[in-house]
Amino acid sequence: MRIVAFNYRDIPNFPQSTVHGHAGRLVFGTLKGRPCVCMQGRFHLYEGYPIQKITMPMRIFKLLGVETVILTNAAGGLNQDYKVGDIMIIKDHLNMPGFAGNNPLAGPNDERFGVRFPCMSDAYDRELQQMALDVGSELGYSDFLREGVYCVLGGPSFETIAECRMLHKLGADAVGMSTVHEVIVARHCGMRVFALSLITNKAVMNYDSEEKANHEEVLQTGKQRAEQLERLVSTIVTRLEHNNNFA
Ligand SMILES: O=P(O)(O)O[C@H]1O[C@H](CO)[C@@H](O)[C@H]1O
């Protein structure tokens, strides 16, 4: 298998990864014979980037001919049934920065990519969600595979207890600081989207709790589930080829 990788710093105008755990490379290769481009590290509002810069890779992927985008993230579990290590198929999102006007599509619309007012009620492809459930069940992952709503915040501070309680009441199952901006731009230009959250920690919802969200726990849980996540995603990619809808 041949792989070609570029450091973000060698790509003109590409943002740089500043987060521990995000390597900062764009890797081209094949996954089970299927041509893919992977980002080893993505970008976040809290790194100080304008939201258009965070999402620029999505438009590059569109121009490269990519048709399906698979996003993964680490997230805190708000749903009380969730356990650390669960994998949540994202079925919908709450875009908190968007409520405050921080949407990657704000500003003049570039008609070459999409329409001024894109629909988001179909942001997460339902066929791919079902396929992930089927694949997860075949792989024996059903006990830790969930479906839920992801809420994005600006970060970098983790949430207060009151914020976690509010987000849960609003219908969020998991909370994080990424993904949604990319989803919006990917959907705007017509790519189909599938996204997963790894529940790396439980959001603290109780004033008696001694637990504290921290990035070390996030990285640790990521390492523990890495192999299973890899198998899930690569099997889904293989099925895309078999379905042949979006080859
Ligand atoms: O970058 P992702 O996978 O979303 O990771 C999550 O974990 C980090 C915090 O520990 C934040 O970057 C948050 O968004």
Q: Enumerate the H helices of 154-245 as residue ranges.
A: 161-170, 180-188, 215-243
Looking from the CA of residue 19, the nearest atom of ligand 1 is 12
Distances in whole angstroms, Cα of residue 171 to Cα of each of 5, 93, 148: 39, 9, 9
Ligand 1 centroid vs 106 CA: distance in angstroms? Answer: 24
Q: What is the ipTM of this complex?
A: 0.99
Looking from the CA of residue 218, the nearest atom of ligand 1 is 10
Domain limits, the chain: 71-243
Q: Of all protein residues, whose CA lies closest to atom 13 belonging to ligand 1?
A: 177
Substitution candidate for ligand 1 out of 40, 45, 73, 197 with most atoms within 8 A of CB = 73
Residues with CB under 6 A from ligand 1: 19, 44, 73-74, 155, 176-178, 215, 218
Tens-digit pLDDT profile for the chain (247 aa)? 579 999 999 999 999 988 887 789 999 999 878 899 999 999 999 999 999 999 999 999 999 999 999 999 999 999 999 999 999 999 999 999 999 999 999 999 999 999 999 999 999 999 999 999 999 999 999 999 999 999 999 999 999 999 999 999 999 999 999 999 999 999 999 999 999 999 999 999 999 999 999 999 999 999 999 999 999 999 999 898 644 444 3
Task: Provide the token pair at 58.
Answer: 């999505």
Alpha carbons 162 and 18: distance in angstroms, whole number: 29
Ligand 1 centroid vs 53 CA: distance in angstroms? Answer: 17
Domain 71-243, what architecture? 3-Layer(aba) Sandwich (3.40)
Alpha carbons 131 and 147: distance in angstroms, whole number: 12
